[in-house]
Structure 1
Amino acid sequence: MKVFLLLYLCADASRTDCQVFPAQHWIGDTAYEQCLDAVPGLTKALTATNRQRHKFVCEIQTDAAKPVEEVARPRFIHQSFRM
């Protein structure tokens, strides 16, 4: 199992306008528990204002869905064209 710790950076406390950033990941049978153990300390490290706006979320990755940084990007193929 692969688990990602996602950081939701939000513009305000309503958390309606957020950007998601992968912060960490774990692999293995205890991956989810390891992620959950990390969240309280990271949340406590935020300032009081930021605790209301931002949040950490543990997400289990399935084989069908891959996080943004793991999606294969098309390779640039150099081609030469002559006229």
Structure 2
Amino acid sequence: MTVFLLLYLCTDATRTDCQVVKADSWSGPYANEQCSDVVPSLTKALTAPNRERHRFVCEIQADAAQPADHVSRPTFIHQSFRL
């Protein structure tokens, strides 16, 4: 199993208009726990107004069999943000 730590950068507290940025990833049987362990400290590191708008999410990606030439990657928007 692979788990991606995603940062949802949202324009306001409704979280309806967000950009997704991959922050980190883990693989293995404890990947979800490893990801979940870092979310509270990363959320706490955000300023209070940013905690209202942005959030960290652990997303599980199943390790399904893929053809050898197929590389599956999540789609991310490459932008620079200031928090």
Fold conserved between structures, TM > 0.5: yes
Instruction: Tell me what 2:28 maps to.
Output: 28
Where do 1:3-82 residues align within 5 Å?
3-62=3-62, 63=64, 66-68=73-75
Name the amino acid aligned to 1:68: T
Which whole-Å CA distance do the structure 1 matches of 2:49 and 2:29 have between them?
Answer: 35
Aligned CA RMSD, in angstroms, stands at 1.6
**What SS does the aligned partner of 1:14 have?**
coil
1:12-68 deviations in Å (ceiling 9; x for gaps): 000000000110000000000000000000000000000000000000012387412
**What SS does the aligned partner of 2:26 have?**
strand
Q: How many residues are matched?
A: 69
**What SS does the aligned partner of 1:35 have?**
helix
Which aligned segments of 4 or more residues in structure 1 are displaced greater than 6 angstroms? none
Name the amino acid aligned to 1:21: V
Q: Percent identity?
A: 65
Name the amino acid aligned to 2:51: R
Name the amino acid aligned to 2:44: K
Runs of 5+ consecutive residues of structure 1 not aligned to the other structure: 70-83
**What SS does the aligned partner of 1:68 have?**
coil
Q: What is the TM-score with the length of structure 2 in the denominator?
A: 0.77
